[in-house]
Amino acid sequence: MSLVLNKRRYDIEYLRILAVLLLVPFHCAMVFFSYESFYVKSSFSHFLIDYFVFFLSPWHMPILFMIAGMSSFYALQKRTWKQYIQERTKRLFIPFLFSIVFIVPPQPYFAYLRYHPEGTILSFLKQYFFCIPDDFTGYKGSLTPAHLWFVLYLYIYSVASIPLFLKINKHSETISKYILRHDYLLLYPIIIGLMEQLPSISSKNPFYYYTYFIVGYLIVSNKEIEDSLFSKGAFTLFCGIITMVVYLAFVKASFIFEQYSYLDVLFYILRRFNVWFWLIFIFAYGRKLLNFSISILPYASEMSYPFYILHQTVIVTIAYSIIPLDLNIWITLFLMIILSFFITFILYHIIIRKSRLLRFLFGMKN
């Protein structure tokens, strides 16, 4: 039995908004993170910031892909598959192309200046648009989709998954009976782990993230599947805390296991199940606690997508201006978070929201 299609899923809207807003402190923290490069880096770091990034990074992007999969199910209930592709093209592909040219470049430009202090905008643009990079992170100033890799992947997933979506819709009852018979979705991390072994693109494995997108669609396609999985919220919270503590302890202690040794395999399995436990817990309690509307919800829901497109460029620009001041690390981080929220919001509220052209370019409805 499918979910009631005319029932608005406030919980999914809230979780999408919160996940996008959480990107601001996360990407601000990346400026101080000890274990990975970024477009602008501080010479200071702190173990609490490292723990914050380690805690969020495993499940943060997966939850966005699961939400996107869930939203795709509801979108297809109101559209034909051809209309769905047209809507996805307008909402995802056009904003991606626009952002690659006009929104993203300041991020790799500031990274470029770190390695080429005497570089000019012209010298940056020459190598940015006309040189094929070794990777697409852009952390050294090369061509990059930056945080818009999520939008590109989502567009490809949406278009390529149409046949599978239609099969799931057609055989929903059969799939439900098979999955519920032995609680197979609790073992879904096994599939996630196997898919992650397939080729990756600059550390962003398209096969790995696709597993979250498609399972999001599958979960909400049938009420029995969703009820069964999300009834285990307390159990998965307990398991998530235990596995997260073990994961953080090993990571922070810099334990390195021999590749494909039994300890390496066990640690890998623990990480995949850890992510899955947290996702089930978040969706379970989101459905339980966020099933209501407030007056600002439609505004915040509409803002979340352009906010996502803008936020990281704003953060990197602010970081480039503030980091040279050598302020206390916590003062710097606080200022970056507050200013990033404020400036991104102002850009959306005053400029983007009121322009018909910009609404189109940022994937918003007119």
How does pLDDT run across 95-129, given as a tens digit for each residue?
Answer: 999 999 999 999 999 999 999 998 899 999 988 98
Q: Is 96 helix (H, G, I), strand (E, B) or coil?
A: helix
Residue 113 covered by a domain: no
Q: Is 201 helix (H, G, I), strand (E, B) or coil?
A: strand
Q: What is the pLDDT of residue 18?
A: 97
* Stretch 217-224: mean pLDDT: 94
* Stretch 66-81: mean pLDDT: 95
* Stretch 147-170: mean pLDDT: 96
- Quickly list H helices, the chain: 10-30, 47-77, 81-88, 94-102, 106-115, 121-130, 149-160, 162-170, 172-181, 188-196, 206-220, 223-230, 233-252, 262-289, 297-322, 329-346, 356-361
How does pLDDT run across 184-195, given as a tens digit for each residue?
Answer: 888 899 999 999
Q: Which two tokens stand for residue 70?
A: 């869930």
Residue 129 covered by a domain: no
Residue 29 covered by a domain: yes
Q: What is the pLDDT of residue 1?
A: 41
Question: For the chain, how many structural domains are there in total?
Answer: 1
Q: Percent of the chain scored above 70 by pLDDT?
A: 98
Inter-CA distances, 250 with 35, 175, 264, 268, Å: 14, 38, 11, 12
Contact (Cβ atoms closer than 8 angstroms) between residue 336 and residue 322: yes
How does pLDDT run across 263-295, given as a tens digit for each residue?
Answer: 888 889 999 999 999 999 999 999 999 999 999
Which pTM does this prediction carry?
0.94
Buried b (16+ CB within 10 A) or exposed e, 44-65: bbeeebbebbbebbbbbbbbbb
Q: Taking the CB of residue 325, how many other CB atoms lie within 10 A of it?
A: 9
Residue 341 covered by a domain: yes
Q: What is the pLDDT of residue 3?
A: 43
Average pLDDT, the chain: 93
Residue 112 covered by a domain: no
* Stretch 328-357: mean pLDDT: 97
Residue 232 covered by a domain: yes
Has residue 76 got a pLDDT over 70? yes
Residue span of the structural domain in which 331 resides: 10-104+145-361
